[in-house]
Amino acid sequence: MKNDVVRTRFAPSPTGFMHIGNLRTALYAFLIAKSSKNGKFILRIEDTDQNRKVEGAVDLIFKTLKKAGINYDEGPDVGGNFGPYIQSMRLEKYFPYALELIKKNKAYYCFCEQKKESSAETEVVFSNYNRRCRNLSKEQIKNLLSSKIPYCIRQKMPLSGSTTFDDVVFGTICVDNKELEDQILIKSDGYPTYNFANVIDDHEMKITHVVRGSEYLTSTPKYNLLYEFFEWEIPIYIHTGLILGKNKDGIISKLSKRHGATSFEDLESLGYLPEVIVNYIALLGWCPGNNCEIFSLKQLIDVFSIGNLNRSPSIFDYDKLNWFNFEYLKNKSDEDFIKTCISQFKKVFPENFEYFKKDKKTLSQNSEILVKILKPRLITLVQIPKILNFLKFAPEEYDISLFENKKSKSNINSSIEMLTIAIDEIENLQMNDWSLENIKNCLINLAKKLEIKNGTLMWPIRISLSAVEVTPGGAPEIITLLGKDESLKRMKNALDVLKNKV
RNA sequence: GGCCCGGUGGUCAAAGGGUUAAGACACCGCCCUUUCACGGCGGUAGUACGAGUUCGAAUCUCGUCCGGGUCACCA
C-alpha cells in the first residue's frame, strides 16, 4: 500500500443538489489525492436506490464539480480503467460477491417481509432483529427459493467479540459486534445496498483512502468485516467532522434546509462566488499551519495535509462566508469585477449601457465609477439591483427631513441655497468636461469658494438625486452616472419641492 | 434509550506538558470622511465542571455534564 499511488473517490448519490457537506468531502478527497504524487481522484455515482431517481441529477453533479474546479481523473463522463463509474451500470458485479459470502457462511438469504412503518404487528413478526432467517436449513432455503418468495441477502455479523478499525482523524475505534445489525447486502429488487456496493467498488477501483463524513463512523466496522470476509486490504479511513447549522432558536444539528441554504446551488443563487464557497468550506474542519485564510484551489493543493483535519463538528457561519465573498470581490481586477457583476447590472441599466470602451477591454467611465462605488461595499452579487435601484428611477417624492443633517450642517434653508447654486454650476459644465474628476473638482471648489464644509454642499445634492439616506458613492459619482440632464432634472425637482414646503 | 464521536470567546480555529492561550469573522469604540461603506488604530469576550498524574495541564487519565452522529430493502 505504501508504494501505491493514492486513489480517492467521491461517491455521491444523485439527489438533485450538491449539499455543501458532500462538496467538502469531495474537496478533501480531491486534495488528498492531488497533494500526493500522481494521486488520482475518481468520481463514482451511487444510484442504487431506484425509488429516488431524480432527473438530471447526475449532470448536476458533473456541472457543480466543474464549477468548483474539482476535476476528477476518472468518472462516468471522462472514462477510466475501472468503469463503469455509475453503480446502476455495474449491477451484475455485486451478486456474485454476495453468493461468495453465502458460501463462506458470512451472509444468508432472508425471506422476511420488508419492515412496515410503525406497524406494531409487523415489527414483532418481521423485525430483522430476531434474525430468524439466519439459520435456515439448506432444505428450507431451497424450498423458499423455489417458491419465488422475495428475498434479500443479509450479512452475517459475529454475535460476540468486537471489531476495531483505525481512522486517520479519529484514531482507533472499537465497537462490540453485538451492536452490528445483519445489514442487507442485496435488496429484494436485486440492487445492492450502498453498504455493499460501496465496499465492492472501492476495492475494484483500488481506492486507497476512503474519505467521508463522520456519520459513517459507526457503520465502518460492518464494512471492515466485509473486507475481512473477502480477505481484501482495508483502505485508509479518513472521516471528517460534520458541518452543522444553527437555527434561530440556537438549536444545532446537521446542516439542513431549516438553516437556510445548504447546497452549492443555493449558495450560488444567493450571490456567492464558486471559489469563495470552496475556500470557505475548506477551512471548515481543516486548518493550514499558518494564519492564511484566502486560498485558491491550487494553493490548497500545495498546503493541504491530512494531519490538520479537525475532529470536532463545525457550524456553518454566514458572517464569515460574507467576508470571504467581499474579499474575493474586492481583490478582483476592475475588469473581472465588472464581468462578474454584469448579469446583475443588466437588471438595473438599459440594454445599451456601455460597460467597456470600443476596444472592449478598457472600462467605460461609468464602469469605473461602478467599480469605485461597489467594490468597497458589495458582499453578494444579488445585492446589486437593490443597491443601485435609486439610479434607475427618479425620485417621485422626497422625505423633507432627509435634507436635515447635523454633521454636514445641512437643513432645509441651506439645501435650497446649495441646490440653487449647484444647479447653476452644473449647467455651466460643458459636456466634454463630463468626467468624475471635473465634477468633483467643480463641487469642491465651489464649497471652498463659499467657505463651507464639503458636506453642506454635497449632502443636499446627493439627497436630491436619490431621495434616500444611504447611497453607494457620493454626489459627484451619482451625478456622473446619471448624466447632466437627469441630474439637473432631479435637482430642480427637489428644489421645487423644498421651496413649496417653506 | 443503546452504541460511537466530540467539547478552547457568539462562530471558524492555533497552541499536542512550560506562551501574558495566536489569528480571522462577528460585535463595540476612536480616527479618516461628501451619506453608508472601505481603510487605520484600539477594545470586550475563551480552555464546560470536578478529581487525579506532574515541579508544571487547554494538552495525559478518570468521572460528571453538555453537544452531535447512528441505530432503513436511504445513501
Using a cut of 0.90, tell me whether the model's pTM lies above it.
Answer: yes
* Interatomic CA–C1' length for residue A286 and nucleotide B71, angstroms: 29
Q: How far is the CA of A373 from the C1' of B53 (A)?
A: 62
Neighbours of A381 (CB within 10 A): 19
Annotated catalytic residue A257? yes
DSSP A447-477: HHHHT--HHHHHHHHHHHHH-SS--SS-HHH
**Catalytic annotation, pick one of A178, A257, A330, A449:** A257
Q: Can you read off the three cell numbers belonging to residue A446?
A: 465651489
Backbone phi, psi, residue A95, to 5°: -60, -45
State the nearest residue by CA to the C1' of B39: A376
C-beta contacts of A450-457 below 8 A and 24+ residues apart:
A450/A421, A452/A409, A453/A408, A453/A409, A455/A405, A455/A407, A455/A408, A455/A409, A455/A410, A456/A408, A456/A409, A456/A410, A456/A414, A456/A418, A457/A418, A457/A422
Q: Which nucleotide is nearest to A173 (CA to C1')?
A: B4
For residue A118, the model assigns a pLDDT of: 41
Chunked into runs of 10 residues, chain A (502 residues) has average pLDDT values of: 82 94 97 95 94 91 97 96 94 95 94 62 42 86 88 93 94 92 93 96 97 95 96 96 85 83 93 97 92 95 94 94 97 96 94 90 93 96 95 89 90 93 90 87 91 92 94 95 93 92 76
- Residue A184's pLDDT is 94
3-state helix/strand/coil string of A72-131: CCEECCCECCCCCCEHHHCHHHHHHHHHHHHHCCCEEEECCCCCCCCCHHHHHHHCHHHC
| Protein CA A212 to sugar C1' B3 (Å) | 20
**Nearest-nucleotide field for A220 (CA, C1'):** B4
Cβ neighbour number for residue A293 with a 10 Å cutoff: 15
Pairing assessment for the beta strands A162-167 and A171-176 based on DSSP bridges: antiparallel
**Cβ proximity of A109 and A186 under 8 Å:** no
Please give the nucleotide, over all strands, whose C1' is closest to the CA of residue A440: B34
Question: What ipTM was reported for this prediction?
Answer: 0.95
Q: What is the pLDDT of residue A127?
A: 44
Distance of CA A469 to the CA centre of its chain: 34
The C1' atom of B26 and the CA atom of A368 lie apart, in whole Å, by 31
Confidence at residue A137, expressed as pLDDT on a 0 to 100 scale: 86
pLDDT at A51: 85
Q: How far apart are CA A109 and CA A98, in angstroms?
A: 10
Strand B: positions under 7 A of a protein C-beta atom: 2-8, 10-16, 22-26, 33-38, 67-75
Q: A429 CB contacts (<8 Å, ≥6 apart)?
A: A438, A439, A442, A484
pLDDT, position A93: 95
pLDDT at A480: 95
pLDDT of residue A130: 66
**How far is residue A34 from each of residues A135, A186, A297, measured CA to CA in Å?**
48, 34, 11
Q: Which pLDDT value is given to residue A2?
A: 53
Give how far Cα A99 sits from Cα of A103, A186, A187, A307, Å: 6, 10, 13, 40
Task: Please name the residue ranges forming H helices in A161-317.
Answer: 194-204, 220-230, 264-269, 274-282, 297-303
Residue A10 (CA) to nucleotide B59 (C1'), in angstroms, measures 34
Nucleotide at minimal C1' distance from the A217 CA:
B4
For residue A397 the three cell numbers come to: 417624492
